[in-house]
Amino acid sequence: MKVRIERDEILKGLQKTQNIAEKRTTLPVLSYILMEAYQNQIELLATDLEISFKDSYSAEIITEGSAVISAKTFFGIVKGLSEKSIYIEKKKNNQIYISDGRTEYTLFGLAPSEFPSFPSYEDMYFISVESAVLKEMIEKTVYSIAGEELRYNLAGIYLERISDPESKLRMVSTDGHRLSLIDKDVSGLDHVELQKGIIIPKKGVYEISRLLDKTGDVKLGIKENTLVIKKDKMVLAVRLLSGEFPDYNSVIPKSNDKDIKVLRTSLMTALLRVALLTSERFKGVQFNISDKKIHIISENPDIGKAEEKVDIEYKGPDFQCAFNPRYFVEALECMKSEYINLSLYDQSSPCIITGTGDEGFLSLIMPMKLKEREW
């Protein structure tokens, strides 16, 4: 294999492989990438067996062939080279020679036959989804994914098709303390295998998000245990999590009768300020709600006390409740609405957050127990 390629061209591809190629693994080949040279392009492939990525980049192919090279080392070398054009040649015993005319490297590679094969996707049915829509859905659910140490089947985003009455794409995530849900209109959903819903692992969610732009469309396909995203020549295949996602509908209250309208940024900044006095032991803040204000109080015996009042629109009885302020802030940060609505029932019930500028989105936050403290 002998090729010449623009430094900036291959650097774009190597950057995308860095989060996928495993840095610590019992299978050394997973920390490498496969580089295949044919026709007028170089194709780069990376995999950790759960997520597989490939993309093609224009190059001058002198001799076709393939090579397996350390992802981290190759990226570091190309990033540090100073000339615009790079020459790459595979020599005997899988050694790879790299030069930009000034600097030369010879790296030890592996046999291409050792590299895992890319998941098959040729017979998948693909639908078009706006990149911006898919990115928004991920941004509004990724923050409430549970860690794998909690429950394996919650360590990802649940993707399903719903009828409302028209078919919509829904994403849901929960860590048991909060839940995020968003619905979007997407054409062609009836042809995608989403009868039971699927769970996209957290790492796969992040990789999908990194590859999405604010404009254009991507192709989405699902078959058995694999989700595939295609954009131009780029292909990302994600192995789905097994197991059943819990019945999240049962925890979404239907009888909340206390509705509060509040300026999103005012509530968010107030929570950030009072949350400065929370700790691992004392995570919650108290909400004292009246007809015109939310009085937010953070009490920490180890640090001190913080209070702030936020103007609201509310007609109903005064009452108290307590929540983890970080859960509120993370939900509010991903929203666009100028004003948001908080829907509650009592101090033992979850709070529902919605906003007219965030169509199809719902955030649910479970309450904390109110504790009486003396000062």
The pLDDT confidence band at residue 189, using thresholds 50, 70 and 90, is confident
Angle (deg, nearest 10), helices 202-211 and 131-139: 140
130 neighbors 217 (Cβ within 8 angstroms):
yes
Asked if the model's pLDDT at residue 186 lies above 80, the reply is: yes
Residue 80, classed as helix, strand or coil, is: helix
Residue 302's region, left for phi above 0, alpha for psi from -120 to 50, else beta, is: alpha
**What residue type is 337 in one-letter code?**
S
pLDDT digits (tens, 9 = 90+) for 314-326: 999 999 999 999 9
Rounded to two decimals, the pTM is: 0.92
Confidence (pLDDT) at 215 = 85
Provide the residue type at 27 as one letter. Answer: L
pLDDT grade for 373, boundaries at 50, 70 and 90: very low
- pLDDT tier at 275, thresholds 50, 70, 90: very high
Residue carrying the six token digits 């900044």: 269
Least confident of 86-100, 136-150, 265-279, 333-347: 136-150
User: In this predicted structure, what is the pLDDT of residue 24?
Assistant: 78
For the residues 286-299, what does the mean pLDDT come to?
A: 94
**What is the rounded distance in angstroms from the CA atom of residue 113 to the CA atom of residue 202?**
30
Indicate whether 370 pLDDT > 90.
no
Instruction: Band the pLDDT of 150: cuts 50, 70, 90.
Output: low
CB 21 within 8 A of CB 115: no
Return the closest-CA partner of residue 26 out of 44, 45, 48, 50: 48
Would the pLDDT of 375 be above 60? no
pLDDT of 63 above 50: yes
Residues whose CB is less than 8 angstroms from the CB of residue 108 and which lie 6 or more positions away in sequence, other chains included: 94, 95
Identity at 329, one-letter amino acid code: V
pLDDT of residue 149: 65
- The confidence score (pLDDT) of residue 205 equals 96
CA distance 276 to 265: 17
Count of Cβ atoms closer than 10 Å to residue 89 Cβ: 18
Q: Which residues pair with 188 in a beta bridge?
A: none
Average pLDDT over residues 265-288: 93
Q: What is the rounded average pLDDT of the residues 270-299?
A: 93
What does the pLDDT average to over 284-305?
A: 93
d(CA 55, CA 209): 16
Average pLDDT of span 91-107: 96
Cβ 157 vs Cβ 142: under 8 Å: yes
Confidence of residue 165 (pLDDT cuts 50, 70, 90): confident
Half-sphere exposure of 99 (CA within 13 A, CB side): 8
Contact 328, 250 (CB under 8 A): no
Give percent of the chain with pLDDT exceeding 70.
Answer: 98
Q: What is the dihedral of CA 269, 203, 137, 209, to 10 degrees?
A: 90
Q: What is the dihedral of CA 38, 44, 49, 52, to 10 degrees?
A: -100
**Torsion sign over Cα 336, 338, 343, 344:** positive
297 vs 276: CA distance, rounded Å? 11
Average pLDDT, the chain: 93
Instruction: Tell me what the mean pLDDT of segment 37-60 comes to.
Output: 96
In the chain, what is the straight-line distance between the N-terminal and C-terminal CA atoms, in Å? 75
| Residue ranges of domains in the chain, CATH in brackets | 2-114 (3.10.150.10), 126-248 (3.10.150.10), 253-365 (3.10.150.10)
CA dist., res. 300 & res. 318, Å (int): 24
Report the C-alpha gap between 176 and 154 in whole angstroms. Answer: 9
Question: How many other C-beta atoms can be found within 10 angstroms of the C-beta atom of residue 50?
Answer: 16
Phi-psi region of 243 (alpha: psi -120 to 50; beta: other; left: phi over 0): left
Q: What pLDDT, on a 0 to 100 scale, did the predictor assign at position 371?
A: 62
Q: Is the pLDDT of residue 374 over 60?
A: no
